[in-house]
Amino acid sequence: MSQLPTIGHLIDGKLTDGNANARSQSVYNPATGKAEKRLLLADKTTVEQAIRSAQAAFPAWRNTPPLKRARVMGNLKGLLEKHADEICALITAEHGKVLSDAAGELQRGIENVEYASYAPELLKGEHSKNVGPAIDSWSEFQPLGVAAGITPFNFPAMVPLWMWPMAVACGNTFVLKPSERDPSSTLRIAELALEAGLPPGVLNVVNGDKEAVDTLLTDPRIKAVSFVGSTPIAEYIYAEGCKHGKRVQALGGAKNHAVVMPDADIANAVNALMGAAYGSCGERCMAIPLVVAIGDTTADAVVAALKVEIAKMQVGPGTDASSDMGPLVTKPHFEKVRGYVDQGVKEGATLVVDGRGVSVSGHEDGYFLGPCLFDHVKPGMVIYQEEIFGPVLGVVRVKTLQEAMDLIDAHEYGNGTCIFTRDGEAARYFSDNILVGMVGVNVPLPVPVAYHSFGGWKRSLFGDLHAYGPDAVRFYTKRKTITQRWPSAGVREGAVFAFPSSK
């Protein structure tokens, strides 16, 4: 392990190993199953060093004009586009997703950087003249101080770019704790931010595990925490962060349902479902793991078409341009997802396509699981209820749209959903009444663009504000309202004891 390249941290504008005696772990290439890098895990002292650096940088950065902060974001956008191939290669090498998917992820992240570059417009407050006799009032949005982000493995470039660009564009400084499974692209992007003109200390990156997370959650210098990950951890982050007086948004898990109506264009719906279920090996919180087919005729048509399309899929390393789907991220996760398939068979669901036996020539030790398809999945089954986060798609059969909606509404998660139909009335009713935060109509992955905001309902989100977009401006700032009056010289007024009003 000691001969592997080492990944450390970025603190105060410099790469550092932190504590020389820190714990470490291997970073694997999931296509080969081999350890390729050694990741140093930040201890409490190292994280505190990053927080100290961010706190020291805050006063000057807070007072930097928003336009100058925005120009850094503009520079970063250009650098991310210039280095896109390098960043995507890092993502694929550690996550496993195919390069085209990595490119799509990075592009979505770049769009968030672009939105952050509009900060001078987004931070404009409100102004009212003469709210009372010669009294003016206005509001402004001030930064919080030091903010922190804790990000997941499935989008190592995009999700961090949901967080820190807007945070720093609003005048905050930031400490980022990326996933320890695939940290290299995140760290490289932070280096590019320095090259773009971000002053040392404004953005710090610490790689670590629970010790690093708990330090961020308990340190009083951290004013806000943004998190994306599983629901149990999101709930922990939210509870601990709030307990320590922080503003917290914690995005959790999902179990997204796709409703297919009898009048849907089945061919187009199936093509959309293929990408939504098996893209990125199903490791997306907006993936579609469940199809709710209205009527047996619809279900039979969907299952038959999916079976044909799955047979065409190529599973292989993400660096191979012919691969449609790469490996799962780690061996433990591979075993967990495979266990869900085993569980579905035991519970009585019909395994129409079994991907458990897939083998990729030359990559026999990689974490490859082929696409799996279940039919006759029932509510109450583990594969129905729990988030699998893998290439496993289940078909549920119901008789009516209302029955489908009742199933979706009863589920603990409310992240995303979609409906495939040609019926505008049905689509409108579904969109208006479903208890889910993000809804697609003939769109399988209704992920909002950068100038909207992303977030689910129920146990998919803890906190009041969604991620990125307009909600990010509100999350990373606090409103201050100022009311002022300049009395005329020489005019003296008596004391007024009634509550002031404009009557």
pLDDT, tens digit, 9 for 90 and up, residues 154-191: 999 999 999 999 999 999 999 999 999 999 999 999 99
Assign 500 a pLDDT band (cuts: 50, 70, 90). Answer: confident
Confidence band (pLDDT; 50, 70, 90) for 2?
A: low
The string of pLDDT tens digits covering residues 43-60 is 999 999 999 999 999 999
Q: What is the pLDDT of residues 203-233, one digit of tens each?
A: 999 999 999 999 999 999 999 999 999 999 9
Question: Is 137 within 8 Å of 482 (Cβ atoms)?
Answer: yes
Q: Write down the pLDDT at residue 384.
A: 98
Q: What percent of the chain has pLDDT over 70?
A: 99
**8-state DSSP, 454:** B
pLDDT digits (tens, 9 = 90+) for 451-466: 999 999 999 999 999 9
Cα–Cα distances (Å) from 441 to 84, 269, 404, 448, in that order, read 31, 11, 15, 13
β-pairing, 477-485 with 135-143? antiparallel
Beta bridge partners of 13: none
Residues 118-136: b if buried by 16+ CB within 10 A, e if exposed: bbeebbeeeeeeeeeeeee
| In the predicted structure, residue 339 carries a pLDDT above the cut 80 | yes
> Using CA atoms, how far apart are residues 250 and 243, in angstroms rounded to an integer?
14
Confidence of residue 399 (pLDDT cuts 50, 70, 90): very high
Residue burial 362-375, b: 16+ Cβ < 10 Å; e: rest = ebeebbbbbbbbbb
Q: Which residues contact 436 (CB under 8 A, 6 or more apart)?
A: 408, 414, 415, 416, 417, 456, 457
Query: Are the beta carbons of 145 and 54 closer than 8 angstroms?
Result: no
H-type alpha helices, 227-295: 231-243, 266-278
Taking Cα atoms as reference points, which of 123, 113, 71 lies closest to residue 450? Answer: 113
Count of C-beta atoms within a 10 Å radius of residue 6: 13
If you average pLDDT over residues 14-24, what whole number do you get?
A: 89
| Cα Dmax for the chain | 91
Give residue-wise pLDDT tens across range 229-277.
999 999 999 999 999 999 999 999 999 999 999 999 999 999 999 999 9
* Secondary structure (3-state) at 353: strand
Task: Identify the band that residue 501 occupies on the pLDDT scale cut at 50, 70 and 90.
Answer: confident
Is pLDDT at 486 greater than 70 in this prediction? yes
Active-site annotation holder among 88, 170, 281, 285: 285
Q: Is the pLDDT of residue 69 over 60?
A: yes
Q: What is the mean pLDDT of the chain?
A: 96
What is the reported pLDDT for 1? 42
Q: What is the mean pLDDT of residues 31-41?
A: 97
Query: Is residue 285 annotated as part of the catalytic site, yes or no?
Result: yes
Mean pLDDT of all residues in 282-286: 96
Query: Tell me: the pLDDT tens digits for 373-390?
Result: 999 999 999 999 999 999
Residue 353 corresponds to which tokens in the numbers above?
């396509």
The pTM for the full model equals 0.95
The mean pLDDT value for 335-340 works out to 98
Q: Is the pLDDT of residue 354 over 60?
A: yes
Query: Is-contact 438 284, C-beta < 8 A?
Result: no
Whether 358 has a pLDDT exceeding 60, the answer reads yes
